[in-house]
């Protein structure tokens, strides 16, 4: 039996950043999870049966004592997969993940492992990071569809001075329904029915 692929969501933030936006990346060992070329360019492409893991990283030019995850949510907003004249639109299921009934997955904070510290040189300055990995995973189910994917993270940062602060970070792209879904009045030719190609399980995100 073929071993399922594993997708890693990396969510990074700087302890001194002004904005709330996380730097994010989806990657897998057998290739890029959010390709910039080809059929799935501009989308997060999940494969059925895939194991989705999460790693959170805090960084800063000043050394960090620690950070703690207070809450973490992965939200999947279903998009239209089929639309036809005189009929109701058909949407993807609430979640692409097995065993998840709703659109919001709450990741238990106590399931993030101990922090791993690292320092690297950036432009002649040391950049300090601490990363924590979720000790569990989500499994991509067999339902095809498209979803906009959002990720919200609340952390407690402890600086070396002892000062603590709570920050909320997120990536929440405003996307369009992915390629392959066209409203009937914009379709060229055919019977005016627009459906998503079979066999795709993806989360639609702009590049």
| 148 close to 202: Cβ distance less than 8 angstroms | no
Spatial separation of the C-alpha atoms in residues 167 and 71, rounded to whole Å: 11
**69 in any annotated domain:** yes
Is residue 130 assigned to a domain? yes
pLDDT in tens, 135-162: 999 999 988 888 888 999 999 999 999 9
Cα–Cα distance list, 197 to 77, 87, 178 (Å) = 19, 19, 11
pLDDT of residue 198: 47
Q: What is the pLDDT of residues 182-196, one digit of tens each?
A: 444 444 445 555 555
Let me know if residue 47 belongs to a domain. Answer: yes
> In Å, what is the CA distance from 179 to each residue of 22, 44, 77, 146?
25, 12, 16, 10
How many domains in the chain? 1
Q: Minimal CA–CA distance to 59: which of 150, 159, 152?
A: 159
Q: DSSP class of residue 143? A: -
pLDDT at residue 118, rounded to an integer: 93
- Is residue 173 in a domain? yes
pLDDT of residue 142: 87
pLDDT of residue 111 exceeding 90, the answer is: yes
Question: Is residue 28 in a domain?
Answer: yes
Determine the average pLDDT of the residues in 91-97: 92
- Specify if 1 maps to a domain: no
User: How far lies 125's CA from each of 17, 22, 120, in Å?
Assistant: 17, 22, 8
Tell me, yes or no, whether 70 lies in a domain. yes
Q: Which domain holds residue 23?
A: 6-204
Q: Pick the residue with more confidence: 88 or 179?
A: 88
d(CA 194, CA 187): 8
Structure-token pair, residue 115: 């922090």
Q: Residue with structure tokens 């392959």?
A: 180
Task: Give the dihedral sign, CA 56/61/66/72.
Answer: negative
DSSP label of 84:
-
Asked if residue 31 belongs to a domain, the reply is: yes
Query: pLDDT per residue over 39-65, tens digit each?
Result: 666 677 788 889 999 999 999 999 999
Q: Check pLDDT > 60 for residue 17.
A: yes
How confident is the model at residue 84, as a pLDDT?
87
The pTM (predicted TM-score) of the whole model is 0.82
pLDDT value for 163: 95
Sign of CA dihedral 92, 97, 99, 105: negative
């Amino acid at each position: 039996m073929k071993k399922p692929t594993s997708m890693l969501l990396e969510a990074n933030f700087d302890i001194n950043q002004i904005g709330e936006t996380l730097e994010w990346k989806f990657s897998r060992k057998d290739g890029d999870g959010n390709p910039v070329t080809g059929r799935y360019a501009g989308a997060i492409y999940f494969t059925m049966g895939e194991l989705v893991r999460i790693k959170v990283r805090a960084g800063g030019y000043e050394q960090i004592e620690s950070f703690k995850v207070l809450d973490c949510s992965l939200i999947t907003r279903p998009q239209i997969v089929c639309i036809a004249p005189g009929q109701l639109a058909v949407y993807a299921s609430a979640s692409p993940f097995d065993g998840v009934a709703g659109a919001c997955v709450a990741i238990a904070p106590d399931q993030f492992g101990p922090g791993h510290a690292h320092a690297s040189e950036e432009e002649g300055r040391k950049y300090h990071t601490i990363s924590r990995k979720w000790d569990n995973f989500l499994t991509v189910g067999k339902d095809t569809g498209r979803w906009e994917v959002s990720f919200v993270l609340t952390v407690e940062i402890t600086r070396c001075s002892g000062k603590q602060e709570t920050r909320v970070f997120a990536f929440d792209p405003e996307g369009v329904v992915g390629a392959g879904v066209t409203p009937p009045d914009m379709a060229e030719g055919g019977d005016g029915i627009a459906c998503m190609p079979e066999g795709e399980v993806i989360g639609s995100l702009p590049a």
